[in-house]
Chain A
Amino acid sequence: MIIREYTVLAPEGLHARPAKELTRLAKRFTSSIVMKKDGVNYDPRSLIGLVTAQATYLSAVSMEIDGEDEQSLAEALDHFFAEEVSRL
C-alpha cells in the first residue's frame, strides 16, 4: 500500500475538467484507490465523488493506493498533481 499527500494546484480546484482528467487517469489502473480530504473518503474513479469533495485550490488531499500496479499509479498521480493539474 502506498499513501501519497498532494496539494491541489488546479486554480479552480478539482472540478469539471481536472476532475474528469483525474477519474480518467485512475481508471487506467487496477489498484484500489481512495482519496481522503478532511478525514472523509472519496472515490477518485467517480467524477461525482470528486466534485462533492470540493477540493479547491491549495486544499490538501491524500491518496491511498493498494494493488498490483500501485507503483505506476502513484507515479502517474505524482505527475498529475505536480504538473498536469496546474494547466487544466
Chain B
Amino acid sequence: MNRGVGVSRGIAIGKALVYQSRVIKPTHRMITVTEVDDEKTRILRAVTRTQEYLNQILARQGDEESVARDLIEVQLEIAEDPALLNKANEYVEVSLIEAGDALLRATDDIAAQFESLEVAYYRDRAADIRDVGTRLAAQAFGVELVDLSHLNEPVIVFAEDITPSEAATMDTRNVLALVTELGSETSHTAILSKTLQIPAIVGVRPDRVRSGQNVALDGVTGELVVEPNPDEIAIFEQRQARFNEDRERVQNLRGLPAVSLDGVSVELAINIAHPHEAAAIHEVGAGGVGLFRTEFIFMDLPKAPTEEEQFYSYKTAVEQADGKPVIIRTLDAGGDKGIPYLAIPEEQNPFLGYRAIRVCLDKPDLFKDQLRAILRASAFGDVRIMFPMIGALSQLKRSLALLEECKSQLRVEGHAFDEDLKVGIMVEIPAVAAAAEIFAPHVQFFSIGTNDLCQYTLAVDRTNAKIADLYSHYNPGVLRLIKHTIDVAKQYGVKVGMCGEMAGNASAAPLLMGLGLEEFSMSPASIPYVKDKIRGLSMEQAARITETVLKMDSATAIKEYLEKKS
C-alpha cells in the first residue's frame, strides 16, 4: 500500500497510465549570422502556432469564467509577451543559437527571475512561464507535444506533475483519477480535480506503477493499492458505493435548511484547514466555516508566512465562502502540531504546554501579523476571529488589546476592515467551561472544542490507544460542562457553537439540539448526516432525550441509548 495526500475526494479503481511530459531539451546547435533572420521568423511562427493551439483549447472551454480558462488566458498573454520575445530574439542575434534554444533560455531566465520574487503568488507564476516555454520550443523544433487530450479508455493518470495547460487539455471523460508526485492541496492538480469531481492524490511517485497495472485509490485518505487483490478490490468498491451514496445524499439535502420538524433551525458549518476548502460550503449546503484551522498555513515553511501571504490565504477562504461567515481561529501551534521555526522545545506534556494562545501572546509580532491579515480579509466578507486555548480572562483581555492595537494601525494606514468584526473563544479548557460566565461578557461567541475539552476533563490523552476506551464526549462530567457553557451563553446572549468531533456525530445531534446548541461545525462529509438527523427531529423529542441522558451515569450507557435512538 502506498499513501499520498488525498486532495480531491472520491474512489477510483482502474488501469494506470503513467504519463511522462515530453521534456524539450536544447539542441545547443550554433547558427551562422546569415541564419539569424530565419530563426527569428521561426520564433514568430512558434508563437503563432502556440496561440492557435491555446485558442483552440479556449474555444472548447465555453464562455463561462473558470479557473481553467483563466490559466489558458494567462498562458496566451505570456506566449506573446514582448519581454519574452525580445529576450529570445536577443539570444538568437547575440548568442547565435537556434529559435527553440533561444525560447527555452528566455523562458528559463524569466522563470528564474519570478522564482526569486518575495511574494509567493508571484513566485508561483514561474510554473506558467516554463509551461509556455516548453510549448513554444516544441513548436520551434517542430516536435509534437504528447498530451492527455485523446485517451482511448478510462485510466488513472500518474505523472510527476500536471501543468496547467496539460490539465486544461486533458480528455477528462476518460480520466478516472489523477495521481501526481508534486503538488499540494492548493496546486493545479487539486483545484482542477475538484472542479472536475475526480479523485486525486499528490505525493506519490509515478514510478510506483507501470502503465496497464490495476490500481485502486481513495482520494480522501490518500491510500493507493497497486494490483489490488480481490479482498482489497471489494473494500474499495464498498467505499465507492458509500461515496456515491453520500454524494447523492448531499445532492438531495444540499439546498435544504437544517431545521427541526417543529421549525427550530440551527446552523451547520464546516471545519477547514486550507483556504480553498471553504468552497465545500456550497457543495454540501453548509451555513459557513465554523473553524478555519490556520496552523496549516504555518506548517511546511522555512519561516512564518508574511502578513501579505496570510492575507491572501484568508481572503481566498472568505471569497470561496461567498458571503457566508468564516470563523478564523488564530494559530494553534504546539501540542501535536509542531512548527519548526517556532522552535518549541520538546516537552514532557505538550498538550499541557507551550501551545496556541500561550505561544501567540509570547510572540506578539507573530500574533499581530496574523491578526492584521485576518482583519484585512474581513473587508471581503463575514469574518469572525476566534482565540484557541484561552484559560484565563487575562489572556483574553491581552488578545483583545492586541486586536485593538492592530485595528488602530490599520486605520492609520488606510486599510479597510470590518469594524464590527465578531470575536469569540474556543471553550476547551475545563476551567473556562466551568466559569463561562466570566468570559461571556467579553465575547460575541463561544465554540466548544470537544476534543480537547474531553481530554482535559477526563485526563485522557486522546492519542494513546491503550486508554482510548476512557475517552468519550458522552462522559457525564463532560456533558455537564457543555451544558453549563451553553446555558451561560444563552443567558448572556452569546452565540454558542461546537467544533469538535461531537458536533459531526449524527447520534449526538438530538442531545445537542436539546441542550440548545446553535451552531454545529464539522467536516463537510458529515453535514448531510447531521442535517438529515435534525430534519427528522422535533424539539420536544430532543428535550426528552436530553433529559434522559442527563440522568444517566455512564458514557457507555449514554452512547448506547443515543445510538439506539438513531
**Residues of A in contact with B (beta carbons under 8 Å apart):** 11-13, 15-17, 20, 23-24, 43, 45-49, 51-52, 54, 56-58
Contacts and interface: CB of A to CB of B under 8 A. Distances in A.
Given A11-B380, A43-B82, A58 B414 contact: yes
Given A48-B78, A48-B129, A12 B312 contact: yes
Given A24-B77, A43-B83, A13 B119 contact: yes
B297 to A, nearest CB: 15
A26 B315 CA distance: 28
B125 A15 contact: yes
A57 to B, nearest CB: 7
B409 interface: no
A56 B73 CA distance: 21
B119 A54 contact: yes
A15 to B, nearest CB: 6
A53 B110 CA distance: 13
Contacts of A52: 113-114, 117
A51 B73 CA distance: 15
Contacts of A24: 77
Interface string B51-83: 000000000000000000010011001100111
18 contacts: A11-B311, A11-B315, A12-B121, A12-B312, A13-B122, A15-B125, A16-B121, A17-B70, A20-B70, A20-B77, A47-B74, A48-B78, A48-B110, A48-B129, A51-B122, A51-B125, A54-B119, A56-B119
B117 A46 contact: no
Contacts of A46: 81-83
B117 A23 contact: no
Contacts of A48: 78, 81, 83-84, 110, 129
Interface string B113-142: 110011101100100110000000000000
B78 A47 contact: yes
Contacts of B415: 58
Contact of A16 (B70, B118, B119, B380): B70
B357 to A, nearest CB: 28
A24 B380 CA distance: 26
Contacts of B553: none
Given A52-B117, A58-B414, A47 B81 contact: yes
B308 A57 contact: yes
A11 B379 CA distance: 10
Interface in B77-100: 77-78, 81-84
Nearest to B379: A11
Contacts of B114: 51-52
Given A15-B122, A47-B74, A47-B77, 4 more contacts: A11-B312, A11-B380, A51-B117, A54-B118
Given A43-B83, A51-B122, A20 B110 contact: no
Contacts of A17: 70, 74
Interface of B: 70, 73-74, 77-78, 81-84, 110, 113-114, 117-119, 121-122, 125, 128-129, 308, 311-312, 315, 380, 414-415
Contacts, number: 60
Contacts of A57: 308, 311
A14 to B, nearest CB: 9
Contacts of A12: 121, 312, 315
B321 to A, nearest CB: 14
Name the residue in A45, A46, A47 with the highest tally of chain B Cβ atoms < 10 Å from its Cβ: A47
Nearest to B71: A16
A44 B8 CA distance: 37
Contacts of A43: 82-83
B187 to A, nearest CB: 14
Contacts of A45: 82
A49 B414 CA distance: 27
B362 to A, nearest CB: 29
A23 B117 CA distance: 20
Contact of B74 (A13, A16, A49, A56): A16
Contacts of A58: 414-415
A56 B122 CA distance: 10
A35 to B, nearest CB: 13
Closest 4 CB pairs of A and B: A47-B77, A48-B83, A46-B83, A48-B81
A52 B118 CA distance: 10
A54 B122 contact: yes
A40 B243 CA distance: 55
Contacts of B125: 15-16, 51
B536 to A, nearest CB: 42
Nearest to A16: B74
A15 B77 contact: no
A49 B83 contact: yes
Nearest to B117: A54
A24 B70 CA distance: 13
Contacts of A16: 70, 74, 121, 125, 128
Contacts of B129: 48
B136 to A, nearest CB: 13
Contacts of A47: 74, 77-78, 81
A43 B82 CA distance: 9
B198 to A, nearest CB: 24
Nearest to A47: B77
Nearest to A11: B315
A5 B73 CA distance: 27
Given A13-B119, A15-B122, A56-B119, A20 B74 contact: yes
A56 B308 contact: yes
B113 to A, nearest CB: 7
Contacts of A15: 121-122, 125
A21 B558 CA distance: 60
Nearest to B128: A16
Contacts of A54: 117-119, 122
A20 B72 CA distance: 11
A46 B121 CA distance: 18
B74 to A, nearest CB: 5
